[in-house]
Structure formats: structure tokens, C-alpha cells
């Protein structure tokens, strides 16, 4: 998946775009780490019952220039994309997904459309 200015996760009705007000220190504050290549990476559990061995995760990558990103929901090991908006635990996963992303919108990492 290439980097983009706007992303919609499979199953979600909302589109998120990179905010023009994004700052590196805010990424660090919200749990992003910087890779050797300079990319900012976030991996958060969507599983409130087992946060240390989650069944679903949210993964986000932001370019070093802060002008593009990738975002996807994946299974626990992080190897397969999943649609958290379907399934027996979808309500729980979607609640946590929106909680995380609403905080990022509030802190001007993303804009929500």
C-alpha cells in the first residue's frame, strides 16, 4: 500500500487525511516511534480484553516529511489485514479504533471527513 494524504480503512465510512498542523513531537506523545528510515510508526491494540495479546491491532505509518501516511487494521500477529467492522467482536474493536483515532484528530495528526 503506497503512502497517501487520505486513507479509508476497509469497512469504515470515515476518511482520515493528514493534518497540515501535524508535528513530530505530537506523534511521539501519542506513541509513534521513529524507525531507522525515519518513518513514524504506531501499533495499537484494539482488543480491550487482552491488550498484550490482541486479536486486532491498528497500524499507522507516517512519512518522515509528514506529508503522507498508511493505515490498516490487522490481526494479532500483524500479518493479515482484517475488517474490524464485521465479526462477533466488531463493536468492541470499532469502539477502541474510534477512541484512538479521535484522540489523533483532536491532537491534529489527522483530519476526519
pTM: 0.94
Fold of 6-106: Lp2179-like fold (3.30.1820)
Question: What pLDDT was estimated at residue 49?
Answer: 87
pLDDT at 50: 84
Collapsed DSSP state (helix, strand, coil) of residue 34: strand
Separation of first and last alpha carbons in the chain: 21
CA 99 from chain center: how many Å?
11
Residue partners of 88: CB distance under 8 A and separation at least 6 = none
- Which residues of the chain fall short of a pLDDT of 50? none
CA 32/CA 67 separation, integer angstroms: 16
Amino acid at each position: 500500500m503506497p503512502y497517501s494524504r487520505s486513507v479509508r480503512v476497509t469497512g469504515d465510512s470515515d476518511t482520515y487525511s493528514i493534518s497540515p498542523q501535524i508535528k513530530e513531537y505530537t506523534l511521539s506523545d501519542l506513541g509513534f516511534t521513529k524507525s531507522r528510515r525515519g518513518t513514524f510508526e504506531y501499533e495499537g491494540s484494539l482488543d480491550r480484553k487482552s491488550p498484550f495479546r490482541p486479536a486486532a491491532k491498528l497500524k499507522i505509518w507516517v512519512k518522515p516529511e509528514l506529508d503522507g501516511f498508511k493505515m490498516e487494521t490487522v490481526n494479532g500477529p500483524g500479518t493479515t489485514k482484517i475488517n474490524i467492522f464485521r465479526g462477533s467482536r466488531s463493536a468492541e474493536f470499532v469502539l477502541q479504533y474510534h477512541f484512538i483515532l479521535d484522540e489523533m484528530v483532536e491532537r491534529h495528526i489527522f483530519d476526519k471527513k
